[in-house]
Amino acid sequence: MKKNFIIILVLFIAAVTTINSYAETRLRMSTTTSTENSGLLPVIITPFEKANDIKIDVIAVGTGAALKLGENGDVDLVFVHSRPDEDKFVASGFGIDRRDVMHNDFVILGPKNDPENLRGAGSALEAFKRLGAGKCEFISRGDKSGTHIKEKELWKLAGVSPSGSPLAKWYVETGQGMGAVLQIANDKQAYTLADRGTYIAYEKKVDLVILYEGDKTLYNPYGIIAVNPAKFPHVKYDLAKKFIEYITSPEGQKIIADFKVNGKELFFPDVIK
């Protein structure tokens, strides 16, 4: 009986050790839906997981929600695209070791017949002023994501206040990710703002086309930040830092540069050119 008890105890300790060891090899990262919807995440994450024998648990939400997870200490690092909010996150002591990773740009999409005539706009702000005429629906993410933040900035600069106005029935806030918004805009043959990477990934799934692009105000940089271990001692800072070093290394940057859909580059590395 005593011998059986010892065997059971040894097996129990071994099982607990295995479970704890497995738990310690998981890294939690909050990021944007654009990095997931574009298909980049598994391509960039898999080599790191294999090389380090770990698993990265990804939570893909809007940038605002991704940073909030970092503020609560619920993740080990964040990978987002709203520089003012990233700087605030770091300045408030929630994050450290912020690094530039990559960029693309935002594009204004709509139906091919373009009832608002955005093709004739002289700037992104003029395009948004034309959208404010309300001749056709505009589908907003409405989720405090980096794309939603940029959209609100453009409305403000254009002198248009669509959100909350009882007259703005043409303005639809969905609270959805970029992929879902593209599908909704496509179904309604409406306008929307999207990051170029997600649009390219969905280009053959929707009838929407790019009607305005190229304005410097549509620049879209991405950054990665480790959650501050001084504020949250439980976070896996060493592992987070290792991933940051990987994604900004020549290896990680080459993976980003080589990632294409339909022959088109979705993101452009910022560390190596």
Question: What pLDDT digit, counting tens, does each position of 158-202 carry?
Answer: 999 886 565 578 999 999 999 999 999 999 999 999 999 999 999
* pTM to 2 decimal places: 0.83
The torsion defined by the Cα of 134, 176, 61 and 143, in degrees rounded to 10, comes to 40
- Would strands 191-195 and 209-212 be described as parallel, antiparallel, or unpaired? unpaired
pLDDT number for residue 20: 47
pLDDT number for residue 60: 94
Distances (CA, A) of 110 to 12, 120, 170, 183: 60, 14, 14, 12
Question: What pLDDT digit, counting tens, does each position of 60-100 carry?
Answer: 999 999 999 999 999 999 999 999 999 999 999 999 999 99
Separation between Cα atoms, residue 62 and residue 60, nearest integer Å: 7
Q: Which residues contact 266 (CB under 8 A, 6 or more apart)?
A: 38, 40, 104, 196, 197, 200, 201, 259, 260
55: domain CATH number is 3.40.190.10
Residues 162 and 209 occupy one common structural domain: yes
Is residue 126 within 8 Å of 166, Cβ to Cβ?
A: no
Residues 152 and 70 occupy one common structural domain: no
Residues 190 and 146 occupy one common structural domain: yes
Beta bridge partners, 261, equal 264
Residue type, 80: V
Domain extent at residue 96: 2-104+221-269
Separation between Cα atoms, residue 219 and residue 86, nearest integer Å: 16
Beta bridge partners, 173, equal 140
**Count of domains forming the chain:** 2
Q: What is the CA radius of gyration of the chain?
A: 22
Residues 69 and 199 occupy one common structural domain: no
* Nearest partner of 125 among 145, 149, 154, judged by Cα: 154
CA 26 to chain centre: 20
